[in-house]
Structure formats: structure tokens, C-alpha cells
Structure 1
């Protein structure tokens, strides 16, 4: 490990921002950049030695390697984080478009998934509850595993703690349906004051076990449960299906319906832990027919 890789490791692992998975992915991404820079002939003595020419070399190398726009955007996010931590934010382009990274359509087909009872029933109880939490409340897998019903349940809403959530962003999710309440009661009975992670096990070890077991039972794309939740919430809030599920796009809505669409999308974005309108296109389908029809 050279000086740059060691310095980046110290910065990345010493920073408490974000969930365990977020920090781990960021660290691996930064180490990959350190290796790329070394292979390109740059020997940076420290993370603070980052300069525009290093950023340009990395972007050019990624483009030559044929990386997808999504992968490059992830790496740009880590690169901006690095630059921000060493107070050199200005050496990285402020937006991806100015870096020559093309925009992609947010909607990439309906990815909503609901795992049926027969497959869920083949899983151990704690894993069953984790998947059901995803479908009932739109939680990420990490959030569902770390979730403690005794701390989060506020009656008409769940208060998710920052340490459970991606990016350390605490949020609230409303409890609006009897099946949600019934699930919370099951969790309380199964886990008491604890989380779904069995006592004595580390989060990362149990997560890997969940991923291995679910894959073995034929359950794919658990993230699709969040898409299903988002679409269910849209139907609940607006009274009609979202564009991804065959509903009308923005230009076909009345003025009142457009207002309801905007409010529902912002509400759902907050419940999913994003807080941005644009990201709802991924879950609900694009608001505009032209973008929708490219699929």
C-alpha cells in the first residue's frame, strides 16, 4: 500500500459519515482510484496532493475503459467526497455533465418486486421479517436489519435513526395500514428490544448470510421491494397508478392532479430517504412521456 492509498484509508475509515455499507463502498472506491493513479504514473504523497490533472486522468481512464455512466457517476461522488475532505472541492467538476459524463434516463423499466408468501416462507424467521419490512415500509436491506421496533415505533409513524440509514439521514415513515401495524407487532414479539441481527453476530456477517440464503431460494433484486412500496404509496396518496405501473404521465393530468402528483412524489422521496423530486422517476416512472417511451 503506497502513501496515497494509506492516507485515503485513514480518511475513509476514520470518517463516521454514512452507514457501514456506504463507508465500506466509498473506501473500496477510493482505493481503486489510488491504484488507477499509480498505474497512470502518478505518485501522490498524500490525499491532499490531489490536483485537476489527476482528476482529468481518472475520468479519461474510466472513459477509455468503457465504464457505464452510472458507474462513473458513483466514482465521481467518491472523488468529490475525497476532494471535500482535503479542502480541495474546486479541483473536481461541480457537475457530471461538465466532466463529460452523459446523463441517463432515470427510469429504466418497472423494477417493482413483491416476493410472494411461498418464497418468503422458505426463509428463516428473521430474514422473512427483513424482507417484509422492505415491502411494508420501503426500507433498504441495511435499514431493515438494523431496525429496532422498540425505539422506532411512535404509533402513527416510524422514526428511523441516522445510524440505520444510508448517508446517516434519519427519517420518518408513516404507519397507515393495518398490515404495517401487524408486522410491527410480529417484530416486537420476535426481537423484543433488539434488531433482526441475531445476538452475538455482526451486521455485515448477517447481511452476507441473508444475501446468500435469499439468492439460494430464488429471491432476486430485493431492492425492488422499495420500488413496490413507492408505487403502492403513490396509489394510496393519489388514487391512481404511477406511470411505471401504467398510469398517466404529467401532460395527461389535470391541474389538480399535477399538484397531487408533485406532493405525492415529494412525500414518497422523503419516506425513501432521498428528499429529491428527480429520484422518484426511478421508482415511479418518468413524469413525462418522452422520457418514459425511450424504454
Structure 2
């Protein structure tokens, strides 16, 4: 092997990691032909047998796989642009750490994807329309979800069209522009939920689960309390300063803490406001003045990791219990709606319970308290009031509704009518009662006629997914069938 001077850092006099090079060279079946003579092709400089020529070492490192590769060089050019532009939002405000990190992750993966596809550009300035088309098509062929494709496309468009200055290179209108022959309806992103995401709605006793959190860590317990009482996001739980945010009659979420820099206030009103006050006073006992709720002397990323670790410890994961930390935010949304007199769709609410104007006023108020400001966003938290078919003679009263596809719903009608008890729960029907019951399913499609069918016809149909059939079974269990 090469005889080079070893520096303190483990490399040669030029800083190259010769040990790394040697280990890689030894993997070859045949040793490299290293010349020790004095001609112009020698590996060592003539002036000193112990001094290695920098260019020759670089050549050796590249030969055995060391040094910076093409992908790394492409990523380096991306990072130069990100450093200059990713910190600033379109409205001139500072972008959140999470947004900056996501932009970086998307663009780094884009670089690696381009090279995997065979487009070996080494400077992001060289990106052109054929590269964008190849990226989008590979997303689709790899089976990325519609939501993921939409998010990554948005980041890519901002980077290329705005930050890189190649306006119009990434087309407006989304990924459908690059996927010829693909049905546009298959690329729709679902923006509403068809079932409750809240902890209570999924059968969890919130008090019991909060006690689990308290036994693990007192600050973690306080975070979940704030999530339940005020509908805070995870980042807001970690970064809020309880003493500073407490304005007696409302909680103030500062723009530096809130998502997208959107400042909001959450009023403490009525009986629920008393609960919020108790939570806030309890949390302030745990946190010193001027401190944030997150664990002290740690970065946001470290606090996020610790938060996720504790969520797994109490079993609050989608896999173990069917809920996540964000479910407390959904719980807050449902609670706020019901306190204002609206039963949300996720809990069985019908649009006929009040006028459209009244529903939208309540939904907008809840949306503002959650930091959104749009009625449509609440569909992701507690569903939407979709059009219901009129009651038809002979099919009985509607006892429930579930989603069978993104645009279609199924209403379950029963005769004689099944009614819940005073507590709102249905009793389990006897075998005799079930035998006398007539169940009719009414499938309402966004486009097309209303279709009536029996449970047996629905169950045997290949048109409906297994997930839809499972939803029907869960509905039956809920109403005592």
C-alpha cells in the first residue's frame, strides 16, 4: 500500500483518509498496481518517497469509491439555494423549522430520485421539464399516496419556479398534468374524515390515558392536557410559554409558536372555560415564568423525539390504540362544536339539525380557535355534512351513514325504527327482534342515481371494498345489531 505520512486526524499530510482508501482497496481481488519507481506515472512524488502527491491520492480515492459523488454534488447545489431562500415565506415572514426541514428533505430525495432514474445532472440549475415529468411519473409508479405527491409537488414547484427563478418550469394544476391516461378522480386528495379521530370517539377513557402520561412524565402530562383543553398542535405544546400566553380571559397563541405564523386567541368561556382555567393553572405550577412547556435545555427536534417516545410508551399510536396525539386536537374540535350546539358528522350529526348558515357560523368559529380560519378545513377533524336522501316509504328510518368511497356514501335504514336509549347508546337486540327487522342500504353517489340494496347484496358486491364492509359491521355493532 501507499506509504504516506499519517496526520493526527488519521489521514495523510493532505487530510485524505488513507486508512479508508486502504480498506477499500483490499476488497479488490487483485491489488492496485502501485509504482514505487521514479517515472512520471509513479504514485509518489519524486522529491520525497514519503510524500504523497495530492492529485494521485484524489485519483486513488475516486477510483476506489471515495470523495464526493455526483449525487452529493447535486445536493450541495440544492443546499446553496435552500440556505438563501427556504427560511422566508411568500408573505415575507420567517418559515417554521418544520417547513424548512421538509423542503430540504423533499429536494434531497428529488436529487437522489433523479440519479436513480438515470438523469445524472450535477447542478440543480440544469433541471428541465423532462426531469420534472420523470420525477412525477416515478412518484405515481412507486405508489406514493395522493397527499404525499401533492405535498412534494408543491415543495418542488416553489423551489424551481420561485427560488431557482425558473418560473413556469413546474406546471400549475398539479401532478395530473404529467400523468397522461390517469383518471383525474383517482388523484383526488381526501380532505375530510369519515370517522371520528378523537380519543373519546375511539372508545378511550381520556382520564385514564392522561393518568398514564402523568406517571411517565409531569411535563408530558401537561402537554396532553393543553392539547385537550385548547386544541394545540404538537409544536405548539412544546413551544408555548404558559405564563406569557395566559391573558386571563383567553389563551394567546403567538405567531412565533403557531403554524404558518398565524396568531390566534382561544377564549375561556362558560363551564368549559372553567376546565381550561384549571388546566392552565396546573400547567403554570409545573413551568417557571419565562419557560416554554417543552423540556428545558433541549432543541425542538430533541423535544419532538421525546414526545413521540412517551406517546409510544402509553400506547397512544395508530397501531396500538387507533389514535395519535393529534386526536386530542380532533377531540377539542368536536367538543367546541357541541358546546355551540352543533353535533359534528363524525359523531353522527345530521345537516338537518340547523340551517346551513348556522352550521357554517359555528364551524368557522371552531376553525378560528384551531388556527385555520376556513370552514372547509374542519372536514379533516370531524367530517362534512354531506347531502342525505329524503326518507322514502317502506325503508324505515335512517340509523347511520358511512363512506363507501371518496365521493359516495351509504345510508342504513331500519324498519321497525331502532332508537337509542336516554344515554344515547343502543341496546343489543335479541335474535327474535333481529329476525323481524328489515334493513335497507341506500347508496348515494356523487354522480349517478341513488341505489337501494339489501345487506346481502352489499356484502356480495365486488364494487365495495372490504374496508367499506367493515364500516357497515361496526355500524351494526353500534346500533345493537
**If the length of structure 2 is used for normalisation, what is the TM-score?**
0.56
CA distance in 2: counterparts of 1:111 and 1:67, whole angstroms: 23
Which residue in the other structure is 1:191 paired with? 287
Deviation of 1:58 after TM superposition, in Å, equals: 1.0
Structure 2: tracts of 5 or more residues without a match: 1-70, 88-93, 201-205, 318-323, 389-400, 405-467, 469-481
- Residue correspondence of structure 1 range 1-295 to structure 2 within 5 A: 1-13=71-83, 15-16=86-87, 17-83=94-160, 84-96=162-174, 98-99=176-177, 102-108=187-193, 109-114=195-200, 115-116=206-207, 117-176=210-269, 177-192=273-288, 193-220=290-317, 221-237=324-340, 239-249=341-351, 252-254=352-354, 257-289=355-387, 293-294=403-404
Q: Which structure has the higher relative contact order (CA within 8 Å, separation 6+)?
A: 1
Query: Which structure has more helix as a fraction of its residues?
Result: 1
CA distance in 2: counterparts of 1:225 and 1:75, whole angstroms: 27
**Contact 2:230–2:266 (Cα < 8 Å) also in 1:** yes
Of residues 76-85 and 97-106 in structure 1, the stretch that sits farther from structure 2 once superposed is 97-106
Given the superposition, is the C-alpha separation of residues 162 and 47 from structure 1 closer, same or farther in structure 2, using an over 3 Å criterion? farther
**Contact 1:13–1:27 (Cα < 8 Å) also in 2:** no
Deviations 1:161-182 (A, max 9, x none): 2222223333322222111111
Cα root mean square deviation, aligned: 2.4
**Contact 2:192–2:379 (Cα < 8 Å) also in 1:** yes
Deviation of 1:37 after TM superposition, in Å, equals: 1.3
Deviations 1:163-211 (A, max 9, x none): 2222333332222211111111122221122012233222211221121
**Contact 1:4–1:34 (Cα < 8 Å) also in 2:** yes
Secondary structure at the residue paired with 1:91? Answer: coil
**Contact 2:223–2:238 (Cα < 8 Å) also in 1:** yes
Given the superposition, is the C-alpha separation of residues 180 and 53 from structure 1 closer, same or farther in structure 2, using an over 3 Å criterion? same
CA distance in 1: counterparts of 2:310 and 2:336, whole angstroms: 29
Given the superposition, is the C-alpha separation of residues 106 and 80 from structure 1 closer, same or farther in structure 2, using an over 3 Å criterion? same
CA distance in 2: counterparts of 1:284 and 1:47, whole angstroms: 42
**Contact 2:81–2:164 (Cα < 8 Å) also in 1:** no
**Contact 1:286–1:292 (Cα < 8 Å) also in 2:** no
Task: Name segments (4+ residues, structure 1) moved above 6 Å.
Answer: none
Deviation of 1:72 after TM superposition, in Å, equals: 0.9
**Contact 2:214–2:220 (Cα < 8 Å) also in 1:** no
CA distance in 1: counterparts of 2:100 and 2:196, whole angstroms: 29
Which residue in the other structure is 2:67 paired with? none
CA distance in 1: counterparts of 2:81 and 2:225, whole angstroms: 36
Corresponding residue pairs, total: 290
CA distance in 1: counterparts of 2:98 and 2:159, whole angstroms: 17
CA distance in 2: counterparts of 1:292 and 1:269, whole angstroms: 24
CA distance in 1: counterparts of 2:245 and 2:167, whole angstroms: 36
Of residues 31-40 and 86-95 in structure 1, the stretch that sits farther from structure 2 once superposed is 86-95
**Contact 1:235–1:241 (Cα < 8 Å) also in 2:** yes
CA distance in 2: counterparts of 1:281 and 1:89, whole angstroms: 33
Secondary structure at the residue paired with 2:265? Answer: strand
